[in-house]
Amino acid sequence: MSVIQEYELLWAEKYRPRTLNEIVNQRDAVIRLKKFVEEKNMPHLLFAGPPGTGKTTAAHCLAHDLYGDNYRAYMLELNASDERGIEVIRSKVKEFARSMVSGEVPFKIVLLDEADNMTPDAQQALRRLMELFTINTRFILIANYPSKIIEPIQSRCAVFRFTSLSKDDVVSRLKWIAEKEGVELEDEALEVIYELSEGDMRRAINVLQASSALGKVTVESVYRVVGLAHPREVREMVKSALAGDFTGARGKLRELMINYGLSGLDVIKQVHREIFGAELKLPEELKVLIADYAGEIQYRLTEGSDDEIQLNAFLAKLALLGRKFKVS
């Protein structure tokens, strides 16, 4: 296990919710899961949604509310991206699923994280186990891309779709963590962390932790630890190009790539974000043309073209478009 994985596990254990009552932003899912706890019964489950939205945490909270603090004795947890072959299903999972359990809850839980990475053969074997041992074992499958789960398994599961976390929930949780850890921060920095994490709570916590290592968490420190340029500098480069100052824009581009160590793809993605941001006031037709050409440059870069040559071509195109649309 890498240092990063150990760190993620440490913080997950420290700050993730323990019971279903602590989960936020997934109201419909929590209501249904609480009903299963009340009835001491549940079907096979499929948790689907973007990363960092609480799917694995919800599974642990469900097990905790069913079995109590010693819930891990009644649950087998496997990461299907590491153990995704048919032999794991036939050995570990089958051995655990076939044994009976005594107690108020008459079944155990097999939790398969990242189940969308399982091989087709393993999924077919899992399908059969779900049929054979459904009386004493319930399966919880977690997937970022549920379409990769074969249809026979999907039809055997109750599907829960998790959505990206809201801005208020992410920011309030980060403030709570910062208070617990004694981290100084700027409110604006939390806004930036949310924008960069795109509703992924795990990534937001990682960015907060990495930024706090530099001292007070500021907008500048956040962009520094995620390896991105400050949006202000990217806007200045775009404005210079559109104003016809190709040499100046090219100089700013070299500064960004050298000072921040950005790749061509990083730059073009940030430019694309700024084109549609509120700070740049551009005609709609110009935005469309820039977005179209940015997509072409991005494709060339992914195909292995030289970063500097392609980005210089992009800035040259901006200079020509700025002259055509008389952007000052």
Q: What is the 3-state secondary structure (H, E, C) of the chain?
A: CCHHHHHHHHHHHHHCCCCHHHCCCCHHHHHHHHHHHHHCCCCEEEEECCCCCCHHHHHHHHHHHHHCCCHHHHEEEEECCCCCCHHHHHHHHHHHHHCCCCCCCCCEEEEEECHHHCCHHHHHHHHHHHHHCCCCEEEEEEECCHHHCCHHHHHCEEEEECCCCCHHHHHHHHHHHHHHHCCCECHHHHHHHHHHHCCCHHHHHHHHHHHHCCCCECHHHHHHHHCCCCHHHHHHHHHHHHCCCHHHHHHHHHHHHHHCCCCHHHHHHHHHHHHCCCCCCCCHHHHHHHHHHHHHHHHHHHCCCCHHHHHHHHHHHHHHHHHHCCCC
CATH number at residue 303: 1.20.272.10
For helices 307-324 and 264-275, angle between their N-to-C axes, nearest 10 degrees: 20
Tell me the C-alpha distance between 120 and 151, whole Å.
Answer: 11
Same-domain check for residues 255 and 315: yes
Same-domain check for residues 82 and 135: yes
Q: How many domains does the chain have?
A: 3
Domain boundary among 145, 161, 177: 161
Domain boundary among 176, 192, 226: 226
Same-domain check for residues 41 and 148: yes
- Give the total residue count for the chain: 328
Q: Which residues pair with 152 in a beta bridge?
A: none
- Asked if 110 contacts 72 with a C-beta cutoff of 8 angstroms, the reply is no
Q: Residue-wise pLDDT tens for the chain (328 aa)?
A: 444 444 444 555 567 777 888 888 888 888 999 999 999 999 999 999 998 888 999 999 999 999 998 888 899 888 766 655 566 677 777 888 888 777 788 899 999 888 888 888 888 888 888 888 888 899 999 999 888 999 999 999 999 999 888 889 899 989 988 888 888 999 899 999 998 888 888 889 889 988 888 888 998 889 888 888 888 889 999 999 999 899 999 999 998 888 888 889 989 998 998 888 767 888 889 999 999 999 999 999 999 999 999 999 999 999 999 888 877 6
Q: What is the 3-state secondary structure (H, E, C) of 68-131?
A: CCCHHHHEEEEECCCCCCHHHHHHHHHHHHHCCCCCCCCCEEEEEECHHHCCHHHHHHHHHHHH
Strands 108-113 and 137-143: parallel
Domain boundary among 226, 241, 274: 226
CATH number at residue 190: 1.10.8.60
Looking at residue 80, its pLDDT comes to 60
pLDDT, tens digit, 9 for 90 and up, residues 305-322: 999 999 999 999 999 998
Same-domain check for residues 222 and 235: no
- Asked if 110 contacts 139 with a C-beta cutoff of 8 angstroms, the reply is yes
Same-domain check for residues 222 and 236: no
Tell me the C-alpha distance between 37 and 235, whole Å.
Answer: 52
Same-domain check for residues 126 and 266: no
Same-domain check for residues 142 and 188: no
pLDDT, tens digit, 9 for 90 and up, residues 183-198: 899 989 999 999 888 8
Looking at residue 227, its pLDDT comes to 82
Looking at residue 277, its pLDDT comes to 79
Same-domain check for residues 11 and 108: yes
Same-domain check for residues 218 and 298: no
Same-domain check for residues 34 and 151: yes
Same-domain check for residues 200 and 235: no
Looking at residue 126, its pLDDT comes to 84
Q: Which domain holds residue 205?
A: 167-226
CATH number at residue 128: 3.40.50.300
- Looking at the chain, the whole-number percentage of residues with pLDDT higher than 90 is 34
Same-domain check for residues 110 and 21: yes
